[in-house]
Each structure stands twice: as structure tokens, then as C-alpha cells.
Amino acid sequence: MNPTIRLARAEDGDAIARIYNPCVLETTITFEEEAVSGLEMARRIADVQEQGLPWLVAEADGQLLGYAYATRFRPRAAFRHSVESSVYLGLQAQGRGLGRLLYEDLLPRLKAAGRHAVVASIALPHPHSVALHERLGFRQVGVLREVGFKFGRWVDLGYWQRNL
């Protein structure tokens, strides 16, 4: 696997939805509960990019393997230099260093765009995501207990932060 990282395009919506929807339907990684269409993903990509923020995809041999993006952390003006990051990988791409590769492209872009703080929210437990973020210099800054309810159980949400 020799992946390349590039900016997402609207036509990536279907492939992104195929990566994201198993997380929605089978895990607590995301608190979303209904599958998302490719058209909706294309809209989300456009929304992120219209804010001047990157949405990246990793692909190899014409197949999209994963993606990472950042959104505004909060809408108030004083938060304008802070973002929340997300990374999702297809099952076949997990455990191959692709999350790190995506972040190594995303973080410098955020810094160049004048962002200062990057926050990652991680549904707990999720040891692989925690390990990825901590290897990249994120540090746990808090846990919100039982704020999500999915699949009949309460889920904690941890926050990891890295300043650029």
C-alpha cells in the first residue's frame, strides 16, 4: 500500500460514506445513529472547505482508504483559532499507519491556516484512537461521563488536545 493524501472532492462522498457508515451502524465511535448518504457527505465536505478548513482523503490504487478533516471547535468568535479534528479509516486500512499519515498532512495545514489548538473527541473506550492521538502529541484534557447513549448503553466522551 502506497497511499497518497489529497484534498477531498464532492465525488468522494459515496466512498467516504462507505467508510463512515459502518462506524455509525456498528460502533460507538460516532454518536450519529443513522447512515449518511454520499450526497450528504459531499455537502459536509463543501461546508468544511467553505470555512477554509481541510478535508483530506487517503487513497491507493484508486481506492479511498480513509479521511481526516477539521471543523470549527465552537461557533463563538473567541474560538476562531481552535478546531476539532476527526479521522476515519476503512477496515482494510486500519493498523497500517494511515491515521498518522493523514494527521501528518492535516496538522501543518491547520497551523499554516492560523489555527492554534486542535481538539479530538474520542468515544470511550477506544484504545486505538487514544494511542494514535497520543503518539501525535495530543494529551487528554478531560472526560465527559455518560454524555452519549447508543446501543442501549451510556458512552463517555474523552477530549484530547494538541496546540500547534
C-beta separation of 75 from 42 below 8 A = no
- What are the tens digits of pLDDT across the range 43-93? 999 999 999 999 999 999 999 999 999 999 999 999 999 999 999 998 777
Angstrom distance (rounded) from CA 8 to CA 94? 20
pLDDT at 1 over 70: no
Helix (H, G, I), strand (E, B) or coil at 156: strand
Q: Using DSSP bridges, classify how beta strands 139-150 and 117-124 pair: parallel, antiparallel or unpaired.
A: unpaired
User: Which residues have CB under 8 Å from 54's CB, separation 6+?
Assistant: 7, 48, 69, 70, 106, 109, 110, 113
The pLDDT assigned to 95 comes to 77
The pLDDT assigned to 110 comes to 98
What CATH number is given to the structural domain containing 65? Answer: 3.40.630.30
User: Which residues have CB under 8 Å from 76's CB, separation 6+?
Assistant: none
Angstrom distance (rounded) from CA 55 to CA 67? 7
Angstrom distance (rounded) from CA 156 to CA 144? 6
How far from 54 is each of 80, 87, 141, CA to CA, in Å? Answer: 15, 12, 24
In 3D space, the residue among 135, 131, 86 whose CA is nearest the CA of residue 106 turns out to be 86
pLDDT at 104 over 80: yes
The pLDDT assigned to 105 comes to 97
Query: In angstroms, how far is the first alpha carbon of the chain from the final one?
Result: 29
- What are the tens digits of pLDDT across the range 108-157? 999 999 999 999 999 999 999 999 999 999 999 999 999 999 999 999 99
C-beta separation of 136 from 107 below 8 A = yes
More confident call, 96 vs 77: 77
Angstrom distance (rounded) from CA 24 to CA 29? 7
Mean pLDDT of the region 6-11? 97
pLDDT at 17 over 70: yes
Q: Which domain holds residue 18?
A: 4-163
- 158: cell is 474523552
Give the number of domains in the chain: 1
